[in-house]
C-alpha cells in the first residue's frame, strides 16, 4: 500500500496536484488545485494509486457486487477500481440536470454497491448516486475516492475511504494571505468561472 507521502509525490509528478495561486470555479482563491484527470491520463501511475485504494477498500468493505461512479470524473477511477476488484462497473450521467443510469446500465435488486469518485468535496454527486442505488432497491456499502478534500463541508458522514485526505484552504479575493497576494493567480479547471 502506498504511503501518504508516496501518493502525494505521484499526484504532484502527474500534475494532478498543483501548487501556486489559483482561482477556483467557485471564485474562491487557493494555494492548491486538484485535477485528477491529469493522474488518470497516466495509466501506470493511476494503476498504482488505484491499487493502493483497492487495498483500503478491501480492508473496509468485504462484500461488493457492483461499482458505480458519477460521470465524468469518476468513470476512469471507477473502471480501474472495478477492474482491480474484479467487479462489474457502471456509471451515471446527467440528464436534465439529474444523475441517472443510461446506456442500458442497471442495478440488480439487492445489490451491494460501492460508489467511487476521483475527488470528493461536498459529496453531492456521490449521494446522488446513492439515491439511484436506493431507487433500485439496493444497498450502498460505502464510498471511495482518490482524494478526499471535503473538510467539514462533506455530506457523507461515514463509510468513506480515500487514498489521500487533503485540507485545501480557500480564500475570498478580499481576504488573501500575504504570501498568496505575491503570486499572480491562474484560472485552471474544466468549468468556466462565474461572471
Domains and CATH numbers, the chain: 4-181 (3.40.50.2020)
* Average pLDDT value for residue range 4-31: 93
* Cis? peptide before 72, omega within 30° of 0: yes
pLDDT at residue 90 above 60?
yes
103-106 own/partner pairs: CB under 8 Å, 24+ apart: 106/136
Q: Which pLDDT score is estimated for 193?
A: 42
What does 52-68 look like in DSSP terms, one character per residue? Answer: HHHHHHHHH----SEEE
Give the N- to C-terminal CA distance of the chain in Å, as an integer. 43
Name the DSSP class of 193: P
Residue 192 has pLDDT above 90, yes or no: no
Model confidence pTM above 0.95: no
Rg of the chain on CA atoms, in Å: 17
Pairing of strands 89-95, 98-101: antiparallel
Give the residue-averaged pLDDT of 66-86: 96
| Average pLDDT of the residues in 86-104 | 96
**What is the band of 194 on the pLDDT scale with cuts at 50, 70, 90?**
very low
pLDDT of 155: 87
pLDDT, residue 158, reads 85
Tell me the percentage of the chain whose pLDDT exceeds 70.
96
pLDDT band, very low/low/confident/very high, at 190 (cuts 50, 70, 90): low
DSSP H or E segment with residue 15: none
CB under 8 Å, gap of 24 or more: what pairs does 73-77 form? 73/36, 73/37, 73/117, 73/118, 73/119, 74/116, 74/117, 74/118, 74/125, 76/37, 76/40, 76/46, 76/118, 77/36, 77/40, 77/46, 77/50, 77/116, 77/117, 77/118, 77/145, 77/146
Rounded CA-CA distance 163/193 in Å is 29
Residue 1, pLDDT score: 92
Lowest mean pLDDT among 1-5, 10-14, 164-168, 187-191: 187-191
pLDDT at 122 over 50: yes
For residue 96, what are the contacts with CB-CB under 8 A and spacing of at least 6? none
Amino acid at each position: 500500500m502506498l504511503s501518504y507521502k508516496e501518493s502525494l509525490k505521484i499526484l504532484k509528478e502527474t500534475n494532478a496536484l498543483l501548487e501556486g495561486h489559483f482561482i477556483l470555479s467557485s471564485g474562491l482563491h487557493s494555494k492548491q488545485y486538484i485535477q485528477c484527470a491529469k493522474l488518470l491520463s497516466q495509466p501506470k501511475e493511476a494503476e498504482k494509486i488505484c491499487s493502493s485504494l483497492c487495498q483500503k477498500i478491501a480492508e473496509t468493505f468485504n462484500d461488493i457486487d457492483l461499482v458505480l461512479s458519477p460521470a465524468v470524473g469518476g468513470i476512469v477511477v471507477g473502471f480501474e477500481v472495478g477492474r482491480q476488484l474484479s467487479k462489474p462497473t457502471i456509471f451515471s450521467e446527467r440528464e436534465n440536470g439529474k444523475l441517472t443510469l443510461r446506456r442500458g446500465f442497471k442495478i440488480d435488486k439487492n445489490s451491494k454497491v460501492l460508489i467511487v469518485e476521483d475527488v470528493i468535496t461536498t459529496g453531492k454527486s456521490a449521494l446522488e448516486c446513492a439515491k439511484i442505488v436506493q431507487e433500485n432497491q439496493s444497498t450502498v456499502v460505502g464510498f471511495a475516492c482518490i482524494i478526499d478534500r471535503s473538510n467539514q463541508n462533506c455530506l457523507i458522514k461515514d463509510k468513506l475511504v480515500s487514498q489521500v485526505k487533503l485540507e485545501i484552504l480557500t480564500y475570498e479575493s478580499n481576504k488573501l494571505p500575504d504570501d498568496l497576494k505575491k503570486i499572480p493567480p491562474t484560472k485552471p479547471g474544466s468549468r468556466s468561472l462565474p461572471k
